[in-house]
Copies of this chain bind each other. A is one copy, B any other.
Amino acid sequence: MPLWGGVEAGGTKFVCAIGENPGLVLAVTRFPTKDPTTTLEQVIKFFREQEKKFGPIAAVGVSSFGPVDPDPQSPTFGYITTTPKPGWASTDVAGYLRRELEVPVGFDTDVNGAALGEFRWGAAEELDTFIYLTIGTGIGGGGLVNGKLMHGLVHPEMGHMRIPHNTNDDPFPGICPYHGDCWEGLASGPAMEQRWGKPATELPDDHPAWRLEAEYLALALHNLILAISPQRIIMGGGVMQRTALFPLVRQRVQELLHSYVKHPQIISKIDEYIVPPALGNRSGVLGAFALAEAAWQSEKQNEA
């Protein structure tokens, strides 16, 4: 079996792994995200050391923070493009790894990578249209539609959708520097921390914070269900570690949709419809394995 290199490129930390699939991960490392040169050299160093132990990597996949250019036909494919993160704008991540390691490199957003991992080995096997969301430091969303990763003009940025915000009930103005009270501005982990004065992890299950959070999550899910008609919605990220959120969100989505979408998945099986990732907090780096595999297969097809 070919050996994959996986890179989860996050704004605060990088996770690198080498392995064949979720059941066979041979090595993992984590380190803080510094400037691009230092960070990417550390990635190369890890893979070169692992290759000495386990043999050559067939391909590398990168699930990256963004915005990114995920279009293999574009001259800036594999770049992190216009990120506000200092030093990282216009960084050619995939090209650098490809030149150094001389293997095919798959590259996409963190959420599209995680979605592909769930499709390949997790909670979305055999689906052709589903959404993967992360609710954490930010809110991001990606997925597959008609059996392929969502790209289009660039790639989705679901966290910045605007949702109803009742300022009488919740006067918090939101923290998004672009949109104020967009979904991410109201419902990300940092938004919860600012609104309630302490980290979300310290708020007990019966704190009103969680019902409000479920409201914002359900409003956005309502919109995504009506915009995309996904066959499933997978919700990961730090905030969703609070598993008490799932039943609150499911119930509120049903109430908001008000039986308008009369499908059994929503009316009676919503427990199977809105779910946590099967790959848990490893869906980023394992999704990168799936991106590596896809890049490797694509290169083989082009050669044939």
A residues sitting closer than 8 Å to B (CB atoms) are 67, 81-82, 128-130, 141, 145-148, 150-165, 178-179, 219, 222-231, 256, 258-263, 265-266
Contacts and interface: CB of A to CB of B under 8 A. Distances in A.
A151 to B, nearest CB: 7
15 contacts: A81-B262, A129-B153, A146-B150, A150-B228, A151-B229, A152-B228, A152-B230, A153-B225, A153-B263, A157-B229, A159-B226, A160-B260, A162-B164, A179-B256, A223-B223
B145 A152 contact: yes
Contacts of A227: 141, 156, 158, 161, 223-224, 227-228
Contacts of A160: 226, 260
Nearest to A265: B153
B228 A156 contact: yes
Nearest to A141: B227
B263 A222 contact: no
Given A156-B227, A160-B260, A161-B227, 4 more contacts: A153-B225, A154-B263, A157-B226, A158-B226
Given A162-B164, A258-B178, A156 B222 contact: no
A171 to B, nearest CB: 14
A84 to B, nearest CB: 11
Interface of A (DSSP majority class): loop
Nearest to A81: B262
Given A164-B164, A227-B227, A260-B178, A148 B146 contact: yes
A294 B213 CA distance: 44
A227 to B, nearest CB: 5
Contacts of A230: 152-153
Residue of A130, A159, A263 with most partner-chain B CB within 10 A: A263
A75 to B, nearest CB: 14
A156 B229 contact: yes
Contacts of A130: 152
A170 to B, nearest CB: 13
A222 B261 contact: no
